[in-house]
Structure 1
Amino acid sequence: MTFQITVQPSGHQFSCEEDETVLAAAMRAGVGLPYGCKNGACSSCKGKVVAGGVTHKAHQQRALPPEEEAAGLSLFCCATPHSDLVIEAREVAGSSDYPLKKMPSRVATLEKVAPDVVVISLQLPANETLKYRAGQYIEFMLRDGKRRSYSMATAPDGGPITLHIRHMPGGLFTDQVFSTMKERDILRFEGPLGTFFVREDSDKPMVLLASGTGFAPIKAIVEHMAGIKSERKMVLYWGGRRPRDLYMDALCRQWAQDLPNFDYVPVISNALPEDNWTGRDGFVHQAVMADLPDLSGHQVYACGAPIMVESAKRDFVQRCRLPEDEFYADAFTTEADLANP
C-alpha cells in the first residue's frame, strides 16, 4: 500500500510505501528532511506526526524517549507509516542539490596519523566526480550488505576524497582497514549523504566543535570556507582524551596563522603527566561555554561522539541562549552505540 506524506509548513508532498521509512521516501522524492545517521541513534531527523500514525523500527531510546513518542514526536529515519501522514519538520535547503551516486573507488593512499587513526585517500574512476557539500558523508557498501559511514575530510573542490577512520577493535570494517587493507584495493560507496553542512546564507560567527575524528567534516568545512574566501568568523574547539588524539593539531595551528578569521582552541580531557600538556583541559563543549557564554548570535557545527553532541546542544541552548535551530550536528554513531538501547 502507498501512503501520502504532507510536510508542514512547506506543504511539500511525497508518496511512501508501507514498508518504507518516511526519510527514505523523502530522499527518493528529493524532499530535504534533515538527517544524520539514518539508523535511529542521533535524533537529527526528529519531527512531529501531526496527523496519521507510524510504527518505529529499532532505535536508541535516548534519541526518542517514550514520553516524546507519546507526544507525537518521531524519528523519520526509522518510522514507517500505516496511514496517510501530515508531519511537521524543518526542511534543509540544498540537501538534495547533488545526485546520490553509487560508484567504485580505489584506495590511493593509507596514512596512519595516530595509533588508532588512518587517513584514506580515494581515487574515483576516470571522468567521474562526486559533487557534495563540505560536511557530508559517504557510505561504504560491504559484501554482506552492511554499510559503514565516513565523513569526507576534504573540501568539494574536485581534489581527492580523504576520510579519517578510527580503529574500533572488533569492527567489521575498521579491523580490515587496520590489518589487511592496502593501496589499490577497491571499495564501493554511495553518496553524498547527510544534512550536516554550512548554511552559507548566514553571516553569523561559526563555532566549530569536534571530538576525535569528528574533526574530519569540520576540516572539510574550514577548507571550503577558506577556498571561497569567506570572511565569516570561525573558531574551532577540538577535544580529545590525550594530545595524540588531535592528530592534525599542526594543521589547525597553521590555519590559525594563515586565516585572519579563524581561531583554534585544543582541549584535552585526560592528559597524562608524560604528555606535558599545558593547554585547556576538561570537556570540549564546556570550554566553548567558558569563552562564549552568550551564543545567541552564533551558529554551532558540532561533530563527534553522541554524548558530546547531546551535551553541547542541551547546554548551549539552555545556558548560552543559542537558538535551537542554529545548532547543526553529526553524531558519529557506531555499531556499539546501536547495540545499547
Structure 2
Amino acid sequence: MTFQVTVTPSGRQFSCDADETVLSAALRAGVILPYGCKNGACGSCKGKVASGTVQHGPHQQRALPEAEEALGMSLFCCARPQSDLTIEAREIVADSDYPVKKMPSRIAKLEKLSHDVMLIALQLPANERLQYRAGQYIEFLLRDGKRRSYSMANAPHLDEHITLHVRHMPGGLFTDQVFTTLKERDILRFEGPQGTFFLREDSEKPIILLASGTGFAPVKALVEHLIHIESKRAISLYWGGRRPADLYMHSLCNEWEKQIPGFSYIPVVSDALPEDAWTGRNGFVHQAVIADHADLSGHQVYACGAPVVIDSAKRDFTAQCQLPADEFYADSFTSEADLAN
C-alpha cells in the first residue's frame, strides 16, 4: 500500500510505501529532510506528525523519548506510514550538484594521528570526483550489507584525496581492520555524499563550532571551507577530549587562531591526569561554550561528536543561552555500541 506524505510548511508532497521509511521515500523523491545517522540514534531527522499515524522501528529512546512520541514527534528515518501523513519538518533545498554515488576508492595513505585515531586518505578513480559539501559524510559498503559512516575531514576544494579520521573501537567490524589488516592500495567501496550537516552560507551570524573527539573531522572541513570562501564571520572553535592527546590536531588549531582574523580556539579537557601537565580549560566542552556565551541568540552553532555531547549542547544552548533551535546544526557520531544501548 502506498500513502501520500505532505511536508509543511513547504507544501511538498511525495509517496511512501507502507514498508519504507518516511525519510527514505523523501530522499527518493528529491525532498531533502534533515538527517544524520539514518538508524534512529542521532535525532537529526526528528519532526512532527501533524496528521496521520506512523509506526516506528527500533530506535534510541534518548533520540525519541516516549513523552515526545506521545506529542506526535517522530524520527522519520525509522517511521513507516500507516496512513496518509502531514509532517512538519525543515526542508533543505536539493542541489543536483551533489549527487549520491557508489564509488570504488584506493587507500592512498594510512597515518596514525594519535594512539587510537587513524587518518585514511582515499584516492578516487581517474577522472572521477566526489562533489560534496564540507561537513558531509560517506558510508563504506562492507560485507553482508553492513555500512560504516565517516565524515570527510577536508574541504572539497583541497587535495586530490578524501581524508577521514577513524577512531579505533576495539572489537569494531571496520575499525579493527583499519588498525590491523588494512594497508595502502587496498580498495574500499563507499556511497556518498550523505547528511545535511554543512555550512549555511546565507547568514552572517557569528559561528560556534563544537567538536568532541573525532567530531573534529567535519569541523576541520568547515573551517577550511570558511577560509576558502574568505568568510568574514567570527568563528569560535571549542574542541573537547578526555585527555590532551585526544586533541590530535591541536597544533593546527593554534595555527588557525594565529592566521585567521576573528577566529578563536578553545581546547577543553575533561579528565586530564597530573602527568598531562594540562594548563587549559577543564570540564565538559559544551559547558565551556555556556561559560563564554551566556547569550547565543545571535549565533549559529555547528556541533559534531558523541551523542551525549550533542544532546546536552542542544538542550542547554536553547534552554539557557537563548539559541534558536533552528540555528543548531549537528552531526551525532553514533557507533554500533550506541545503537545497542
Q: TM-score range by the shorter chain?
A: over 0.9
Secondary structure class of the residue paired with 1:307: helix
**What residue in structure 2 maps to residue 211 of structure 1?**
212
**Deviation by residue 1:54-75 (Cα, 9 ceiling, x = unmatched):** 1100000111111211111110
Is this contact kept in 2: 1:5–1:85, CA < 8 A?
yes
Q: Which residue of 2 aligns with 1:330?
A: 331
CA drift of 1:93 comes to: 2.8
Q: Which residue of 2 aligns with 1:163?
A: 164
Q: Kindly tell me: are residues 158 and 275 of structure 1, through their superposed partners in 2, closer, same or farther at Cα, counting changes over 3 Å?
A: closer
CA distance in 2, matches of 1:94, 1:261: 31
Deviations 1:139-173 (A, max 9, x none): 00001110000000000115211000000000000
What's the TM-score, normalizing by structure 2?
0.98
1:182 shift after superposition: 0.2
* Number of the residue aligned with 1:310: 311
SS in 1 for 2:218: helix
> Counterpart in 2 of 1:283?
284
Structure 1 residues without counterparts, runs of 5 or longer: none
Equivalent position of 1:123 in the other structure: 123
- Whether the aligned pair in 2 keeps the contact of 1:51 and 1:86 (CA below 8 Å) is yes
Q: Give the Cα separation in 2 of the matches to 1:67 and 1:296.
A: 27
Question: Any idea what the Cα deviations from partners look like across 1:4-41, whole Å, max 9, x if unmatched?
Answer: 11101100011111111000111111111000110001
Measured in 2, the distance between the counterparts of 1:3 and 1:95 equals 26
In structure 2, distance between residues paired with 1:243 and 1:35: 31
Q: How many residues align?
A: 340
Offset from partner CA, 1:283-317 (integer Å, 9 cap, x none): 10111111111111000000000001111111111
**1:111-146 CA distance string (max 9 Å, x none):** 001000000000001100001111000000001110
Amino acid in the other structure paired with 1:17? D
The letter for the 2-side match of 1:136 is Q
Residue 330 of structure 2 aligns to a residue in which SS? strand
Equivalent residue of 1:295, what SS? Answer: coil
Partner-residue secondary structure (3-state), 1:144: helix
Instruction: Measure how far apart 1:91 and its partner are.
Output: 1.0
- The CA deviation at 1:261 is 2.1
Amino acid at match of 1:143: R
2:142 maps to what in 1?
142
What is the match of residue 59 of structure 2? 59
Bigger mean CA deviation after superposition, 1-10 or 205-214: 1-10
SS in 2 for 1:102: strand
* C-alpha separation in 2, matches of 1:97 and 1:320: 36
Which runs of no fewer than 5 residues in structure 2 stay unpaired?
none
The RMSD of aligned alpha carbons is 1.0
In structure 1, C-alpha distance between the alignment counterparts of 2:40 and 2:290, rounded to whole Å:
28
Q: Which residue of 2 aligns with 1:240?
A: 241
Q: 1:206 to 1:96 in 2, by over 3 A?
A: farther
Task: Tell me if structure 2 keeps the 8 A contact 1:129–1:158.
Answer: no
Does the 8 Å CA contact 1:30/1:96 hold for their aligned counterparts? no
> What TM-score do you get using the length of structure 1 for normalisation?
0.98
Partners of 1:96 and 1:76 in 2: CA distance: 23
Q: Secondary structure at the match of 2:198?
A: coil
Distance 1:3 1:96 in 2: 26
For residue 310 of structure 1, give the secondary structure of its aligned residue in structure 2: helix
Tell me the SS of whatever aligns to 2:163: strand
The percent of aligned pairs where both chains have the same amino acid is: 73
What one-letter code is carried by the residue in structure 1 that aligns with 2:15?
S
Structure 2 partner of 1:254? 255
